[in-house]
Chains A and B, each alone.
Chain A
Amino acid sequence: MIIPLNYSFRNLWTRRLTTFLTAGGIALVIFVFSAVLMLANGLEKTLVGTGSDKNAIIVRQGAESEFMSMLDRNAVNIVKSQPEIAVGPEGNRLAASEVVVLINLPKRGSSNPSHVQIRGVAPESLTMRPQVKVVEGRRWRPGLSEVIVGRPVAEGFQGAGLGETIRFGMRDWTVVGVFDAEGAGFESEIWVDAEQLVQAFRRPVFSSITAQLSSAGDFSSLKSRLESDPRLTVEVAREKQYYAEQSEMMATFIRVLGLFVTVIFSLGAMIGAMITMYASVANRTTEIGTMRALGFPRRSILGAFLFESLLLASIGGGLGILLASFLQFVTVSTTNFATFSELAFRFILSPAIVVQSLTFALAMGFLGGFLPAVRASRQKIVEAFRAS
C-alpha cells in the first residue's frame, strides 16, 4: 500500500509560510549555484567561439597570450610561405600577421581605467573570421588613423563610441565602425589596420599569425615543420584551443570560489529543510500513528515524507533556476587574468546546468529530509496515539 502523493502536496500547502521560507532558502542557494556555473560557461563559450577549427595560430614559443608574443617580419614571411596554408579567391595566402597591444581606456560611468586589447589586422583577418561583421558605420580606410570597435567596447569605454576619438601612440584615432562577432572574444577588442599600428607604436614586430589551413588535417604537419625549424622559436596551436585555454584560469577561479561558497551555504539550506521536516513529523505524530494503524507499512511512510522533502527541494530548485535564467540578459565585463585585458561575456544557461542545479537541489532535499523521514517511519503506533 502506498500513501497517495496528494498527501505530501497537501501537507506542504497546509504550512504555507514554512514551506515558502524553506523553499526560498533552497532557491537562493540554487540561484547562486547556477549563476556561478552560467558565468563559467559563458566565459568558456565566448573564448571557444573566438577561434575556428579551420585556423591555426602561430605565436612565439611560451607566449600564453598574444600580447606577450613577438615575431619579426622575417619569421612572418617564413610562416606565410608554408604549403599547408590555404589560398584565397584572389590568389593570396590566407594568413594574417597581427599586432596585439593593450591600452588603458577609462570606463564609462566609473572612469576607472581598464585595459583594452587593440588588434592590428590584415585584410585577410576579416576573410578568416566571418563572424566579425560591421553593424554600424563602416570599415577603416587604408592609410588613415581609423578604427572599428566591438559593441561592448563602444558601450563600455569613454571615447570608443561611433564618431568619437581614442588617443594612443601619439595619434588620434577616429572610431568609424562598430562590429559584432556573435559573442566571441573579438567583441572586446578594437580593430585597426596592422601597418598603421606598427608605425604608430614604432614596434617592428608582430604578435601572432593566424592562418587558414587548406584542410584541417594539415595542422600536424604544419606544426611539426614550424616548431622544428631552426630559424624560428614559435609555437603552433589550433586557434580554437588557444583561445579556450585563455579562459581556463578565470573559469577555474570562478568555479572554485563559487562552489566553495555554494557548498558552505547549501549546508545552511539543508539544515533549513531538516528543521521543517522534523517539525512536520513532530506535528503529525497522531496522523502517522493513524496511518500505521490503517496498515500502511513503514516503507510507505518513509517514502511519503521523503517525497515531501524532495518536492520542497524541487520547488526551491525550480524557483532558483527561474531566477537565474533572467541573468541571461546581463553582460559581465571583467579583466581576464590570462590576457590582462577587459573581456565581455554573458551568463549562459545550458540544459546541463539546469540538470546539475536540480540534482543539487534534490540532493539537498534528500539529505535534509532523510533523517526526519526515518524518524517518522520508526514511530511506535501505541506511543503515537498517546502523544497529544
Chain B
Amino acid sequence: MELFRLILKNTLRHPLRSILTVFGIAIAISAFGLIRTVIGAWYSGVDASAPNRLITRNAVSLGFSLPLSYREAIRGIPGVADVSYASWFGGIYIDEKHSQFPQFAVDATTWYEIYPEFQLPPEQEAVFKQQRNAAVAGRKLAERFSWKVGDTIQMRGMIFPGEWEFVIRGIYTGERKSTDETQFHFHYQYLDEKLRQTAPFQAGNVGWYVVKVQNPKQAAEVAEAIDRRFKNSLAETLTETERAFVLGFISMSETILVALRIISMVIIGVILLVLSNTMAMTARERLSEYAVLKTLGFGARHLIVLIIGESLLIALTGGLLGILITYPAANGFERAMGDAMGAIFPAFDVATSTQIICALMAVIVGLAASAFPTWRAVQVRIVDGLRRVG
C-alpha cells in the first residue's frame, strides 16, 4: 500500500511528462484498435455466412455467368433443400462516388427464404414479390440516401446498359450485428425481360446460385455432386460453402491486410519507444534516490515493484484512454471513408476482443519499457548512485 502511494507520487513528480506519455500511448493504442477494427470489418462477411449455404458459380471466374436452366438441375441433386440465384447489377446511382454498394438482381420468390437473416416485414415482402420493378434496400443503405418505402430511384447500368427505374417496396434489417445492411435487391425477371430486348446475348443467365443444403454435414458432398453434374459442359461450375466463398474474396486483398498488420506492429513499436524514453529519463534522474532507498535497507524487489509499477500505471492509463478514444475514432473513420465503406465493410464495430488485445498490448509495453531502467536501478552500487549528479 505504501509502495503504491510511492508509485503514484513518483508518477506525478513530472506531471507534464506523465500526461504527455499517457496521451501518446492513448493515441497509439486507439490507432492500433482502429486498425484491428478495420481488419475485423473485412472479415465480418465470414461471421455472417451460414454453414448450410453453398455458392455455385462459373468455374472460370465470377465474370462469367451460368445458364438459368441449371436451377432445376441443381434442385434435383440429392441433399439440396432449396435453390435461389442472383446477378451482380453494378449500376450507378447519382454518380460513381455514391454507387459503392452491392446491387443484386435476385429471385424474389426464394431469396428471403434462403437468407432468413435479411428480415423483411411480411407485408413488404408480399408487395415486393408482386411488383416487377420493386426493390428492397438494407437499413443502413436506406438511411444513407434517406430512402423511404414508395420512393422511386433511377440507376444507370454499367454491365447492363440503359436507365433503370426501381420503386423501393421494402427495407430489411439484419438479424445480427454482422449482417450486411447495405445491400440492394430487385427482381431478376425485371432485368432479364429488358435484356431479352436489348442484349439477348446476356439474357437467360445468372451470376451465381445460392444452394441451401438439408444437412450442413453433407455440404461438401453436395457441392461435389453439383460440380460433377456440370463437368465438361460449356459452363462448368465451382461450388463451395458460403464461408469459403467469402474467405476467397478476402484473400484477394490479402496484401492490404498484411500491410495493416505490419503497421499495427509498428505502432506498438512507437508506443514502446515513447514509454521507454520516459522511463529511461525517470531512472536517469532518480539514480541517486535509488541509492538512498538501498541505503535505507530497501531491497531490489522494492525497486523493481516501484519502477515496473510506475511504468504499468502510465501504460494502463494510456491504454484505457486509448480504448475509449477508439469508439469516436472508428465512427470518424467510418464517416471519412463514407461512400467507399459500404462496399468493403458491411459492419464496422469495435469488438470486445479488440479492447482486450489493446489492454494486453498496454501491459506488454509497460513491462518492456521498464526492463532497462529496472536493471540499471538494481545494478547501481550505492556509492556510485550517491556520487552521481542526475
- Using CB atoms and an 8 Å cutoff, list the residues of chain A in contact with chain B: 17-18, 21-22, 24-25, 28-29, 31-32, 39, 60-64, 67-68, 70, 101-104, 110, 112-115, 168-170, 201-205, 233, 249, 252-254, 256-257, 260-261, 264-265, 267-269, 271-272, 274-276, 278-279, 282-283, 332-335, 340, 342
Query: Given the complex of chains A and B, what is the CA–CA distance between A105 and B390 in angstroms?
Result: 65
B24 and A268 contact, CB distance less than 8 A:
yes
What residues of A have a CB within 8 angstroms of the CB of B90 in the complex? 68
Does chain A have a CB within 8 A of B323? no
Collect the chain A residues with CB atoms within 8 Å of residue B234's CB: 170, 202
A18-B281, A260-B333 as given contacts; A275 in contact with B252, CB under 8 Å: no
Within the complex, the shortest CB–CB distance from B57 to chain A, in Å, comes to 9
Q: Which residues of B contact A334 (CB under 8 A)?
A: 252-256
A233 contact set on B, CB distance < 8 A? 161
B278 touches A275 (CB 8 A): yes
Of B23, B27, B260, B280, the contact of A265 (CB 8 Å cutoff):
B27
> Shortest CB–CB separation between residue A167 and chain B, in angstroms?
9
> Do A101 and B280 have beta carbons less than 8 Å apart?
no
- B252/A114 in contact, CB under 8 A: yes
16 A-B residue pairings within 8 Å (CB atoms): A21-B280, A24-B273, A25-B273, A29-B270, A31-B266, A32-B263, A63-B158, A68-B159, A112-B254, A113-B251, A114-B252, A170-B234, A256-B337, A264-B27, A268-B31, A334-B254
How far is B17's CA from A282's CA once the two chains are assembled, in angstroms?
11
What is the distance, in angstroms, from B283's C-beta to the closest C-beta of chain A?
10
Shortest Cβ distance from A74 into chain B, in angstroms?
A: 13
> With the chains together, A170 CA to B96 CA distance in Å?
36
Q: Which A-B residue pairs are the 5 nearest by beta carbons?
A: A271-B24, A335-B252, A334-B255, A112-B251, A25-B273
CB distance B340 to A115 under 8 Å? no
Interface stretch, picked from B3-11, B61-69, B380-388, is B61-69
B340-A278 in contact (CB<8A): no
CB distance from B244 to the nearest CB of A (A): 10
Q: Across the interface, which residues of B come within 8 angstroms of A168, CB to CB?
A: 60
- With contacts A32-B266, A101-B63, A274-B20 taken as known, whether A268 is within 8 angstroms of B27 at the C-beta atoms is yes
| B277 x A264 contact (CB < 8 A) | no
Indicate which residue in A61, A64, A70, A101 contacts B61 across the interface (CB closer than 8 Å).
A101
Decide if B226 is an interface residue (CB 8 Å cutoff): no
**How far, in angstroms, from A261 to B255 measured CA to CA in the complex?**
17
Tell whether, in the assembled complex, residue B280 and residue A170 are in contact, meaning their CB atoms are under 8 Å apart: no
Q: Shortest Cβ distance from B66 into chain A, in angstroms?
A: 14
- Residue in A113, A170, A269 whose beta carbon sits within 8 Å of that of B248 in the complex: A113
Q: How far is the CA of A171 from the CA of B224 in the complex (A)?
A: 21
Give chain B interface residues in 320-354, CB to chain A under 8 Å.
Answer: 329, 333, 336-337, 340
State in angstroms the CA–CA spacing of A245 and B260 once bound together.
25
Chain B 52-77 interface residues, beta-carbon cutoff 8 Å to A: 59-64
Residues of A within 8 A of B251 (CB): 110, 112-114
With an 8 A cutoff between CB atoms, is B150 at the interface?
no
